[in-house]
Amino acid sequence: MLNSIHLIGNVGADPELKETSAGSIVNLSLATTERWKSKDGEQKEATQWHRISFFGKPAEIIAQYVHKGSKLYVGGSVEYREYEKDGEKRYATNIRGREFKFLDSKGGDSRPAPAGDSVAESFDDDIPF
Which pTM was predicted? 0.76
Convert the pLDDT of each residue in 101-129 to its tens digit.
Answer: 999 876 444 444 444 444 444 444 444 44
With b meaning 16 or more CB within 10 Å and e meaning fewer, what string describes 59-98? bbbbbebbbeebbbbbbbeeeeeeeeeeeeeeeeebbbbb
pLDDT the model gives residue 122: 41
Range with the poorest average pLDDT among 41-45, 66-70, 121-125: 121-125
Structural domains of the chain, with CATH: 5-35+43-117 (2.40.50.140)
On whether the CB atoms of residues 58 and 106 are closer than 8 A, the answer is no
On whether the CB atoms of residues 120 and 98 are closer than 8 A, the answer is yes
Distance CA(43)–CA(14), nearest Å, equals 30
